[in-house]
A = this chain, B = another copy of it.
Amino acid sequence: MSEFNNVTVTRAANVYFDGKVTSRKVTFEDGSFKTLGIMMPGDYTFGTNEHELMEITAGECEILLAGAQQWLPIKGGESFEVPANSSFDVKAKTIIDYCCSYIA
């Protein structure tokens, strides 16, 4: 989907890592939500409360899931999942445009 229809968007951004990572919350009619975010180039560690689907809309990064041995290259058009109550590292080689879905 190139756009999300009939949604609610929260005006204020979520700001992490001194603004190097920011996102906007998009809430759907069924109460589920996604965040649309931007990462500036850099290294980040994110924790998860829920099972997440991270779709990379544009950019190039490498990711390392908690417990994994190997960094995985991920680029625009690709995605990865992260279990709940876990974490993952990202090396953003370019600016990253992403969509994160929270899967119950």
Binding site for B on A (CB under 8 A): 1-13, 15, 18-20, 22, 24, 26-27, 36, 38, 40, 57-58, 95, 97, 99
State how many copies of this chain the complex holds. 2
Contact status A11-B1, CB under 8 Å: yes
The complex places the Cα of A99 from the Cα of B40 at a distance, in Å, of 20
Contact status B9-A38, CB under 8 Å: no
The complex places the Cα of A99 from the Cα of B57 at a distance, in Å, of 22
The listed residue (B1, B18, B38) touching A22 by CB distance below 8 A is B38
The listed residue (B9, B15, B99) touching A97 by CB distance below 8 A is B15
The listed residue (B6, B10, B40, B95) touching A3 by CB distance below 8 A is B10
